[in-house]
Structure 1
Amino acid sequence: MKILHTSDWHIGRTFHGHSTLEHLRQVFAALVELVRENDVDVVVVAGDVFDSSMPSAECFSVLSGVLRDIRAAGAAVVMTSGNHDSATRLGFQSEWAGLAGIHIFTRHDQYLEPVTIDDEYGPVDFYGIPYLEPSMLRHHHPEAELRTHEQALTFAMTAVRADAAARESRSVVVSHCFASGVAAQEEASDVERDITSGGLNLVPASVFDGPDYVALGHIHGRSTISDRVRYSGAPLHYSFGEAGKPRGGWLVELDAGGLDTVGWLDLPIPRRLSVLTGELDDLLGSDAFAGFEDDWVAAVITDQVRPMDAMRRLQDRFPHCATLEFRPSVTAETSAATYGERIAGRSDTEIVADFLTHVRNGVGPTEYETALVASVLTEQQVSS
């Protein structure tokens, strides 16, 4: 059996105010081609199908289109809800979707009802664990201590292992969580809303012992916890923190004995993300930056004095410049002395010059500005 492990589609996500739906359609078209070219049997989506709990009608249209095309390419679909999804909306009419080979796990106890898909070696049981918020799960199980994500997933995986042992067949688990073995602060982007706090959201990889393969979602960069426990990452770059990370999915092959091989399949990147650093004139005029003109650009301006109208000027050359940061290459030293102590014994001209040097990060007044200040102060003294 060939399984394409994906996750975190985030349909409806915007990128600095720009819709990503058209780019996502391009990536989904490529994903369908991968399914067809590699004779994939099952496509897994490990949570965060939508970016919002209230997706628009257009988002549902994008989802319906890619699911229809995956089925037409010959693969079944197994997906779970993530923390961004509304389990109710995503799971609406999932019973009928299952009859068409699209299996959606959204209920808190649905992992007790695996989907069985056969290949030439026999059955493979897919256990979908939707995002389990401990505060909600413990209302259904007051007899258990369910205060952390580790406890919630341990509770679910204990039941999964017992069921899988009784069936004596190969098994795949799909889950949406932060698993230990991933540097969460490094791998997680600003898209994930619940970065680990005090370790309460972190789940030890040992919790997932047992299944032949564990398809994880929630981290937007691909990551390998072990040969059989992996993150695929998101299909698009959704923040500049993800720039440079490959986009794609894991092609997982099961043989008669369980996990056989795992390989990576790349997806196209419709528009690169680039962080450009330099003085504004260099960014606007240097040929060294010509290759970035069609990229999503995060510009870091290092001029000593903040340039006027920098974003508009940048967008003349880089139409997709999305963010601008002013970060002077040299900054003025700060002092703990009081204002009165700093100006004691200094002339008005020197005080104004010091002020300009401070607000310009170490760049003092020009000759023209010095003369202008002196002239104004002289006029003030004469009039008084």
Structure 2
Amino acid sequence: MRILHTSDWHVGRSFHGASTLAHLEDVLLTLAQQVVERRVDVVLVAGDIFDTGMPSAESYAMLGRVLARLQATGARIILTSGNHDSPARLGFLAEFAALAGVHILADPTRLDTPIELEDEHGTVLLYGIPYLEPALLRHRYPEQTLRTQEDTLRFALARIRADLAARPPARSVLAAHCFASGASGGDGERDITAGGVESVPLDVFEGVDYAALGHIHGRAVLAPHLRYSGAPLHYSFSEAGKPRGSWLVDLGAHGVEEITWLDLPIPRPLSILRGTLAELLADPAHEAVREHWISVILTDRVRPVEPMRELQKRFPHAVTLEHEPEHLEAITEGGYAGRVRERGDAEIMAEFLGFVRNGEGPNAQEQAVLAALIAQENNEAIR
């Protein structure tokens, strides 16, 4: 049996205010092509299907198109809910979707009820663990101690292992959405600890042939049978340069035989540019990244006026800007009273401008304006 492990689609998420729906749909349709080309039997999506618990109509429509394309390949589709999803909304009409081979596993009370599939070697049991919020789960099982994410995952795996033990020997695969020890995901996942998503030890996942994890947005191999696929799109500049894709898992008669990484296309790469505004606007080397998502770090001594407007004339997809001057003027020690003692108004204003502009005092035009205002001390403008 051949399984494609993907996760963290985050349908509806924006990238610094720009919609990602069109790019994500293109990438997921490419994934559907890979399913056909690689003769995939099962597509396993490990949580965070949507980016919010209240998806837009456009997000639902896009997901519907993608699932229809995947279902048309003949593969079984298994989706679990993540901490960004609303289990009720994601699982709406799940029973009807299952009739078409699209299985939405968002009910925590059924996490030990697997999807049963057969291949030439026998049965494969596929378990989906929806994101388990300890505070929302413990009232269902008051006899259990469910204070942390580790508690809930240990409880879930104990139930799954008990179900496995009660059945004839079979190969097993599970999908879970959590932050496992040793994983590193940058800031692509915005709320790494929100809602109880704390670190879960790797020994929690013992007893299954393969664990398809979601929540971290970069690929990671924590153990041969325990992996993150990461998100299909870049959702943070911390992910710049990192591949996007999924794991192709081949199950043989006795478990996992081979795991292969499949790259996905990157519709708009991420680039981080550093330099003065003049350098960034003039350097021909930057033409190669003109259509990338751009994060800019300006090194001008003084922050230019409206730099983003100028940058977007050359880089239309520049979305973030920081000012980190290479030279920082030393701050004068002493209190304000000492610095202004025996100084005239023009000197005080010049020092103030130099203080707030990293050592660059008033230019000739500004000096003339200051002098004119000071000369008209009783003028309304001064007051």
Within the alignment, does 1:173 sit opposite 2:174 as a pair?
A: yes
> Deviation of residue 376 (structure 1)?
4.8
- 1:46-79 per-residue CA deviation (whole Å, 9 max, x = no partner) reads 0000111111222112112111211222211111
Question: For the residues of structure 1 that align with 2:275 and 2:248, how far apart are their CA atoms?
Answer: 41
Indicate how the Cα distance of structure 1 residues 20 and 109 shifts in structure 2: closer, same or farther if over 3 A, else same: same
Please name the residue that 1:300 is paired with.
Answer: 297
- 1:155-186 per-residue CA deviation (whole Å, 9 max, x = no partner) reads 01011111112222100010001000113xxx
Unaligned runs of 5+ in 1: none
| Aligned residue type for 2:204 | V
2:243 aligns with one of 218, 243, 246:
246
Please name the residue that 1:321 is paired with.
Answer: 318
2:348 aligns with one of 351, 363, 367:
351
Indicate how the Cα distance of structure 1 residues 131 and 371 shifts in structure 2: closer, same or farther if over 3 A, else same: same
2:231 aligns with one of 223, 230, 234:
234
Please name the residue that 2:214 is paired with.
Answer: 217
Q: How does 1:153-168 map to 2 (within 5 A)?
A: 153-167=153-167, 168=169
1:311 aligns with one of 308, 311, 315:
308
What is the CA RMSD across the aligned residues, in angstroms?
Answer: 2.1
- 1:16-43 per-residue CA deviation (whole Å, 9 max, x = no partner) reads 1111111011101110111111111111
- Contact 2:129 2:175 (C-alpha < 8 Å) held by counterparts: yes
Please name the residue that 2:266 is paired with.
Answer: 269
- Contact 2:42 2:77 (C-alpha < 8 Å) held by counterparts: yes
Q: Bigger shift: 133-142 or 88-97?
A: 88-97
Q: How does 1:124-135 map to 2 (within 5 A)?
A: 124-135=124-135
TM-score (norm 1): 0.93
Indicate how the Cα distance of structure 1 residues 200 and 285 shifts in structure 2: closer, same or farther if over 3 A, else same: closer
- Contact 1:188 1:195 (C-alpha < 8 Å) held by counterparts: no
Unaligned runs of 5+ in 2: 379-383
Question: For the residues of structure 2 that align with 1:228 and 1:178, how far apart are their CA atoms?
Answer: 16
| Aligned residue type for 2:127 | Y
Please name the residue that 2:119 is paired with.
Answer: 119
- Contact 2:179 2:197 (C-alpha < 8 Å) held by counterparts: no
Please name the residue that 1:65 is paired with.
Answer: 65
Question: For the residues of structure 1 that align with 2:34 and 2:3, how far apart are their CA atoms?
Answer: 11
- Contact 1:330 1:362 (C-alpha < 8 Å) held by counterparts: no
| Aligned residue type for 1:195 | T
Q: Bigger shift: 340-349 or 219-228?
A: 340-349
- 1:120-178 per-residue CA deviation (whole Å, 9 max, x = no partner) reads 11111011000000001100000011000000000010111111122221000100010
Indicate how the Cα distance of structure 1 residues 279 and 96 shifts in structure 2: closer, same or farther if over 3 A, else same: same
| Aligned residue type for 1:327 | E
2:287 aligns with one of 264, 268, 290:
290
> Deviation of residue 201 (structure 1)?
1.3
- Contact 1:196 1:202 (C-alpha < 8 Å) held by counterparts: no
> Deviation of residue 193 (structure 1)?
2.1
> Deviation of residue 373 (structure 1)?
4.1
Number of positions where the alignment pairs a residue of Structure 1 with one of Structure 2: 379
| Aligned residue type for 2:13 | R
- Contact 2:11 2:50 (C-alpha < 8 Å) held by counterparts: yes
| Aligned residue type for 1:154 | R
Indicate how the Cα distance of structure 1 residues 200 and 48 shifts in structure 2: closer, same or farther if over 3 A, else same: closer
| Aligned residue type for 1:288 | A
| Aligned residue type for 2:173 | V
Q: Bigger shift: 304-313 or 15-24?
A: 304-313
- Which ranges of 4 or more aligned residues in structure 1 deviate by more than 6 Å? none
Within the alignment, does 1:189 sit opposite 2:210 as a pair?
A: no
Within the alignment, does 1:47 sit opposite 2:44 as a pair?
A: no
Question: For the residues of structure 1 that align with 2:277 and 2:232, how far apart are their CA atoms?
Answer: 33
- Contact 2:178 2:197 (C-alpha < 8 Å) held by counterparts: no
Please name the residue that 1:342 is paired with.
Answer: 339
Question: For the residues of structure 2 that align with 1:123 and 1:110, how far apart are their CA atoms?
Answer: 19
> Deviation of residue 256 (structure 1)?
0.3
- 1:337-369 per-residue CA deviation (whole Å, 9 max, x = no partner) reads 321123234443332222121111122333554
Please name the residue that 2:381 is paired with.
Answer: none
Question: For the residues of structure 2 that align with 1:346 and 1:210, how far apart are their CA atoms?
Answer: 78
